[in-house]
Structure formats: C-alpha cells, structure tokens
Structure 1
C-alpha cells in the first residue's frame, strides 16, 4: 500500500462520518476539501490546517455550487484523488404516509446530489486516468426495512449507480466503491433524520415498532465513526479495492442473512421463473 499523500473531496463534513473522516485524514497528513452548508463552518475548516484543509460552501441540491466548489478545489490543490459522496439523510416512516414533497427531497439529496458530484468530477478524473469515488450508501441500500422504505429506495438507487459506474470507469483506471455502514454513533438516527409519524394503525407493529427502535438506538449505536474513517483511508490505498465495503458487525450479519434467504428463495421458486424462456 502506498503512503503517498492524497487529496480528498468530501461532501457533508459538518457531522457524522464526514466529520470523522475529514479529521482522521488531516491527522494523517492528507489534503482535504470538505463541503459545508454554512459559511462559518467553511472558514473554520479552512483555517484548521492551512495548505492542507479547504472548506467549500456546498448544498448538494445546488448544481452551480457543486461545479464551483470542484473547480475551486482543483485550482487550490492541483488535482483530486478521492471523492466521497457522504452528504445525505434518512427520511423514515411508512411509504404511504411520507409526503410526495418529502420523497422528492429525499431523492434530491441522496441520489441526485451524488450524481451532481460525480458528473462534476468525472472530466477531471478521466483526464488523469486515476481516482477513487466512494459512495457512502448504507446497509439500507441492501436491505429494505419496514420503517425506511423511501430512504431504502434512495440508497438502493445509489448502490446501482455505484455498481454501474464501477463497470464504466474500471478500464480508465478509476475505482468506485459503495461504502455501506450499519448503525454508527452519529446524528443519523437523531437530528439528522426526519421522522414521519405513524398514524395508520395497520402499520403499528411494523413501521411504528421500527421507528421506535431507530429512535432508541440514537447515541447507542455500535459503530465507531473514527474506525470507519480509518477503514476508508486504508481502502483507497488498496491496489484492487472492492466495489462494496460493509462497515460494522451489524451490517455484515444483516447482509449475510439476507443473501442466504435470497439464495433459498431463488432456488425454491426457480420452477416458476426458469421455464419462461422461449
């Protein structure tokens, strides 16, 4: 593994995994461009390690801000090595009860936002024939949960984007990894999430129970954001990085369990589906 200094571009660095990642990287001597939605945060981060840290003002729903921030980052540091699509949030509640406006907002932040970042950085990465894009998805991008259908939809979509992008960019020397955390001790399940109250009694034992469990987990999650950051630092130094990297024991257990169930389901009902060819 190479110890060469890398230049990172990280969205959503004000809290959670993004904040931990930016801090760990700076401590390791990496150069970090981090996005924030408030000017004081931008200025504070830029002052943190002059010549090594650069804050930029970005709302991932604003294409013009993204284009300007990427150009500014390249002008400041010469190039980008790693781009981390971390900005996002969870909209929790039943599919029937979450409003259309909130659904559109969830997709705009969690899907269209990363797409805007990807499209802004790809010309630069393609020109260099190098780079690594990390899409921070979720174990919720593998497994649908009763109380998180709209959030799951956004993360399932980002998973698909990442897999397709990996296939497109592999011949160009550019890596793509979907990073899939389980529950980590961040504000994701607290103030960073939106909760649509479960009022339909039919969903009390599914959505309602799930919402309460998510709220009860806030502040007690097993995942350590600093250790996640360390894993991502090591990931981008692998000569052949994976397209998927789960983070945390919960994620590994849940995904392994689902894959076993899925294989059994495929085999059990192959008698219906396989004979449908000409």
Structure 2
C-alpha cells in the first residue's frame, strides 16, 4: 500500500466476474476498502475470505431501489462514507430490435441505465455532504457509436452517457467528479453470459454487419488485468476526465463517426433552415 495517500473507500457493483472481479482484487490489493456487490453474494466469499474486514460483500440487485439504498447505507455505516462509486453491473442483449421481447428490452434498460441511476442517487447525499467523491460509470464504445444487432444494449449506454454528462455539470460545485469509462474489447464473457434473443433469419445481415464492422475497425482484444491499472490511475487523478476509452482503436472509429454525422447534417442543412422559417412568419 502506498504511503503517499490515505486509503479510499470504494463501492463496486458487478464485482463477481469480468472487469468487476479484476478491479475488486486490485482495489483491495493496494490497501483500499471495498464494498463489493453482486446478485449472488456467495460468489464474493473468496474475496471476503482473503481480505477480511477490508471488504464488505453484499448481495445487490441494482434494479431494486430499496436494495440499492440499503446496500449504500450499510456501506456508509461500515466505512464512514464512499469515496469512489463504480457502476459496473450490466449485461449485453445481442439482437435486432424486432427479435427482442418486451421483457428483455425493459431488463436491459433496468440494469444498465436505471441500475446505475439508482446507485448514483443513493451515494450523492453523502458525497455532497463531504464535498468530495468520484462516480465512475462503466459505459462502452457502444455508448458513443450504435451498431446493428446491438441497438438495445447501445441505447442503454447512450442513456447512461447523457445522464452522466448532465450529472457532471450538476455536481461539480460539490467537488464530485464523474467519469464515463468506455471499454472497447475485452474477454469478459459479457455477451455469452447475458440473456439472448431468439434469432430471426431475416436479420442475419445485421449480425454479419456487426462483426464485419468490428473487424474493419481493427479492434484487438485487450488485457483485463491492465484495466485495473488504468482504473486505479483514474481514481488517483486530481482532475479526472468526463470520458476515457479503455483500449485502443476507439479514437479512429470516433473520428469517422463524428465526421460522418457532421457531413450528413451539413448535407441536409437546407431542411433545417426550411424548418426554422423566418422571424414573425415574414
């Protein structure tokens, strides 16, 4: 543990697998305190066995506001406050809009967007009172670009992006930072471990376009272990960014995406001006 800083207290959702499990281990290994949450608390027992009183392992369904409020209250009572919130819990629904059921669509928004909103709301009073805190929202490159056969997942992340950008402006006066962490491609089993649609052959072209797009972008699978180094560096930054990509290849994709959006808007600016009309109808 570094002697140059005081230990922080973290609250991490989705701590039992993938990026969350890697981050939980790194947070605790450097001497910080952690409330680690998962839908099944039994999956967190090995973490609790290794780190004892340094970790608080809680069962949490982020879609249940009472459960969220209770977990945050328990964490604050145990550790005296929360310095860093990491909203990592989520899943990826892979399928075209017509293929997904109503329940699947609602569940995607409930977990990825509303779950993060409820947890964020729960920690804000304590952070405002202490006039300090860092909220990290785990978004995705798919929170900035929408892909075929991932539109429902993408929409949950786009909603998270919008809420978090507004939130950052709302809470800056209280000394609270907000950062959207946007991973690109890591072997987390996010897709395979998530509920999936019943495929309609009519949308096979959309699935092929999704994979062709990822291939043409040149995305390479990153190392989960080193994402923990990046996360800890982000927590240590005195002036953290609103957005940060985890992984490489995203910048070029975004340059192309935003250039295309601007070009299309300019091409159809004549309709924008037509819609505007003239002052006073003259």
The verdict on a shared fold, with TM-score over 0.5 as the criterion, is yes
8 Å contact kept, 2:16–2:44? no
Equivalent residue for 1:142?
A: 144
Unaligned runs of 5+ in 2: none
CA RMSD of aligned residues (A): 2.3
> Structure 1 CA distance, aligned partners of 2:134 and 2:95?
34
Report how far residue 206 of structure 1 moved.
Answer: 1.6
Once the two structures are superposed, what CA deviation does each residue of 1:94-145 show, in whole Å capped at 9, x if it has no partner?
A: 1111011110111111111111101111111111110000000111111111
What's 1:39 paired with? 41
Measure the CA separation in 1 of the matches of 2:244 and 2:5.
21
**Please, which moves more after superposition, 149-158 or 63-72?**
63-72
How far, CA to CA, are the matches of 2:262 and 2:18 in structure 1? 34
Alpha-carbon distance change, 32 to 87 in structure 1, aligned in 2, over 3 angstroms: same
Q: Which moved more, 1:81-90 or 1:56-65?
A: 56-65
Are positions 1:74 and 2:96 aligned together?
no
Residue 222 of structure 1 deviates from its aligned partner by 1.0
Matched, 1:263 2:262: yes
The answer for the alignment partner of 2:205 in structure 1 is 205
Q: Describe how 1:236-275 pairs up with structure 2 within 5 A.
A: 236-274=235-273
Give unmatched runs, 5+ long, in structure 1: none
The corresponding residue for 1:158 is 160
Q: Distance in 2 between matches of 1:264 and 1:109?
A: 35
Q: Does 1:229 align with 2:233?
A: no
* Alpha-carbon distance, 1:274 to partner: 4.4
Equivalents in 2 of 1:235, 1:161: separation in Å? Answer: 20
- Residue 25 of structure 2 corresponds to 23
**Equivalent residue, structure 2, for 1:111:** 113
Q: How does 1:92-107 map to 2 (within 5 A)?
A: 92-107=94-109
Mapped partners of 1:250, 1:153: distance in 2: 21
TM-score after normalising by structure 2:
0.89
Structure of higher CA gyration radius: 2
Cα distance, 1:16 vs. partner?
0.8
- Please give the alpha-carbon distance, in whole angstroms, between the structure 2 residues aligned to 1:199 and 1:39: 36
Moved over 4 A (4+): 211-214
Establish whether residue 131 from structure 1 lines up as the match of residue 130 from structure 2: no
For 2:76 and 2:30, the matched residues in 1 are separated by 21
SS of residue paired to 1:143: coil
Q: Distance in 1 between matches of 2:152 and 2:269?
A: 29
